Structure 1
Amino acid sequence: MQPSHAATLGRAPRVPRAPQVLRPAPRGAAVAKAPAVPRSSLAFAAVTGAIAWKTWTARRQRAPQQVEKMNTKNFLSTGSLTLDLALCGGLPRGRMVEIFGEPQSGKTSLALSCLRAALRNKQSCAVLDVDRQWPHCDASEDQLLRARPKNAEEAMEMMVDLVNSRQYDLIILDSVASLISKEELEADISSTDVGFAVPKLLSRFCTRMEKILPETGTTIIFTNLLRNSRWSDYGADSEVTCGGNAVKYRCSLRIAVRQLERPRWSEGGEDEDVKAMKTLLEVVKNKDGPKGPPVECDLLLGKGISWESSVVEAAMDLHVLADADAESDASGAVVFQGQARQPSDWAKVLEDDPKICQQLAKACRKAWIRRMNWMTT
């Protein structure tokens, strides 16, 4: 018998192993786990890709979900129910918001209506009045903090401290166009080398706030001025905002305020000195929801938007209330308190009785939810 090839090489011949019998492990014994597949391998990538494809196709084939209730906990009210419905809730918490427009278009009045709505809901607010023209607002010192920073560096440091304190729900900076750096404030008026300090400072500030605000839940509102660009003849945008592009790119919500009619004085009554102006509020950018249609409203200069009149306008639009000339049976509207009235009369009724105003606002939100569900189905 000739020796095997393994023996000639000095190796021991292979002995066949006995077949292993799999038996169940006794109770209480530790069971060895299978070795985990490294995430960098192709097998793991194939498995995760297949799971992601199945979930994506399932979501595509799934019917659109109906809205059961409007989530108002993660939003701040703007002081106008029509604008809140257009934003699907209001101003998002933990985000940066920009309100921009032409001079005397109602930017400060809209920010003031947001402030009054927050104070009405017992939320703490802070106002950094850079313009030194913020209107008077009746509120306690514990609920409203008002400061007047001298330069842009001091304003940014104040906002960082207020956000890190986690005690304020709303911070308003009025306005970005009035910010001036410390170097530019102390330099000669003929120097031209310090003009880009504010855009760089705003870029650093917005980049930092984009990471901190979602953790604190504070909302920051910037009011900005819309001006004509000197580079419009060379193909650039004809209208730009002040302070560079940092606020424009980093804000998750941008509202454009445009004047439709000239300011008018109220007629008769005790409010003869109140000046009203019809404006158009257009949502230009919204990362947390759809943009929504433009909203026309009456801005009271120095007071903001009347909440009662916005509730009446939303009720008329959603057919919750009926006009005085319309028939309730033909229009199918729910006539509140069994009698149709003019919008001005309804606003006075809601001002006298806040409970009726709350009930009508709830009815408007339910009607809006029904309309949204009808559009998605």
Structure 2
Amino acid sequence: MQIASDIMNALKKRMPKHSFGVPKEEETWFLTTGSRLLDLSIRDGKSPSGLPGGRLVEFYGLPSSGKTALALRVCREAQKQGGMVVWLDAERGFEPDLARLIGVDLGQEAFLYTEPYGLEHVLGAIEEIAENYHESPAPIVVVVDSVSGLNPMAYMMDDSTVKDTPPAAATAKELHRWFRRGAFWYASGSKIVLIFISHLTADPRPYGGDKTPHGSSISFYARLRLRMSATDLKDPEGGKRLGQWLTARIVKNKMGSKYAETEMPFYFHTGFSPAVENICYLLQQKVLEKTGNGRIRFGDKSYLIGQFRDLYLQDNHIRETVDQMVLDQFRSDLEGRRK
């Protein structure tokens, strides 16, 4: 249409350095979370899927809800692709044993660990990586654990300009200033994944509920926000506590639907189990059938869940078949909800 051409020419005079055209997909690369179901939930069954490169992702929740465990799982997936991890430990609470349990390589070639002193140090490190390594062919995962443990340097040095400002407000102002500068935009289109871990705190106001204590900048600029929670994972026979069911609830999602929930089994002695996660999903959806004695029917045979889990891990054909069943059922379930 002539009017469209006229408007474009007029805008080019006002914004000569801007390009105009058809909107395109903003994310071109994704890093798997290690959970097939969570990946599928993020992009509504599209492939590839996972956490978007060049974007900010937030994991938040109450203490011991699985935030750090999921972040470490993502780190492991990056390392499996030849990538590396930068872990900014504001809390000074990193657990090497937990990282090793999940399968993270803590060698210096694959894992850089530091304990930043102030918020500016963290933001400066992120900006440095975004500016200088946005063309890296291998994934780079930057984890801030946690934003709740950071304060601006001025506040920590007892600067008179912020002495009457609550620490959460000082942090919120500095984050707002940094995001407005667009410092992380350098990473757009890259294989850099930025994960902010945040804690929930109680709002003292009546009916305030829980909230993250550092303003709304992170929630506004995040491409994806996952709220984590945990419940006990018990032995069905003896009732012994074996681990936790970690639930990731999609609260904000610019790449697909919101409010989907994914349950991931985490065992205290072995870590995450994709096999059990997928098998339990298929049992819940009644794609796999349990016999009267609690065995799982697969084809013309039946197995104990432990036997079937081991087969999943050892037999490529069974693993590919189960994974395809998960994909088909997820897409079928999604299509049914849309009707």
* Partner Cα separation in structure 2 for residue 347 and residue 290 of structure 1: 30
Q: Is 1:246 equivalent to 2:213 in the alignment?
A: no
Q: Deviations over 1:119-160 (max 9, x none)?
A: 234333322111122222341433332222121111111111
Task: State the Cα distance separating 1:372 from its structure 2 match.
Answer: 4.1
Q: Secondary structure at the match of 2:327?
A: helix
Q: Is 1:307 equivalent to 2:280 in the alignment?
A: no
* Partner Cα separation in structure 2 for residue 122 and residue 359 of structure 1: 27
* Partner Cα separation in structure 1 for residue 227 and residue 219 of structure 2: 12
Compare the two structures and name the one with the higher strand fraction.
Answer: 2
- Larger-gyration structure (1/2): 1
Q: Is 1:153 equivalent to 2:125 in the alignment?
A: no
Letter matched to residue 323 of structure 2: A
Q: Deviations over 1:295-314 (max 9, x none)?
A: 23333469753222222223
Q: Deviations over 1:183-221 (max 9, x none)?
A: 222228994347333212212333425633323242211
Q: Is the 8 A contact 2:275 2:312 kept in 1?
A: yes
Q: Is the 8 A contact 2:230 2:245 kept in 1?
A: yes
Task: State the Cα distance separating 1:177 from its structure 2 match.
Answer: 0.5
Q: 2:256 aligns with which of 269, 278, 289?
A: 289
* Partner Cα separation in structure 1 for residue 289 and residue 322 of structure 2: 13
Q: Is 1:345 equivalent to 2:307 in the alignment?
A: yes
Q: How does 1:166-205 map to 2 (within 5 A)?
A: 166=134, 167=136, 168-187=139-158, 191-193=163-165, 195=167, 196-205=169-178
TM-score by length of 2: 0.74
Matched residue pairs, number? Answer: 300
Letter matched to residue 215 of structure 1: G
Task: State the Cα distance separating 1:170 from its structure 2 match.
Answer: 1.9
Structure 2 residue aligned with 1:102: 62
Q: Deviations over 1:76-125 (max 9, x none)?
A: 22222222222233222222111111122221112122222322343333
Q: Is the 8 A contact 1:278 1:298 kept in 2?
A: yes
Structure 1 residue aligned with 2:74: 114
Q: Is 1:77 equivalent to 2:32 in the alignment?
A: yes
* Partner Cα separation in structure 1 for residue 198 and residue 176 of structure 2: 15
Q: Is 1:86 equivalent to 2:41 in the alignment?
A: yes
C-alpha distance 347-209 of structure 1, shift in aligned 2 (>3 A) = farther
Cα root mean square deviation, aligned: 3.8
Q: Is the 8 A contact 2:263 2:277 kept in 1?
A: no
- Percent identity between matched residues is 21
Letter matched to residue 152 of structure 1: L
Structure 2 unmatched ranges of 5 or more: 9-26, 44-48
C-alpha distance 171-362 of structure 1, shift in aligned 2 (>3 A) = farther
Task: State the Cα distance separating 1:178 from its structure 2 match.
Answer: 0.5
TM-score by length of 1: 0.67
* Partner Cα separation in structure 1 for residue 40 and residue 209 of structure 2: 31
Task: State the Cα distance separating 1:371 from its structure 2 match.
Answer: 4.4
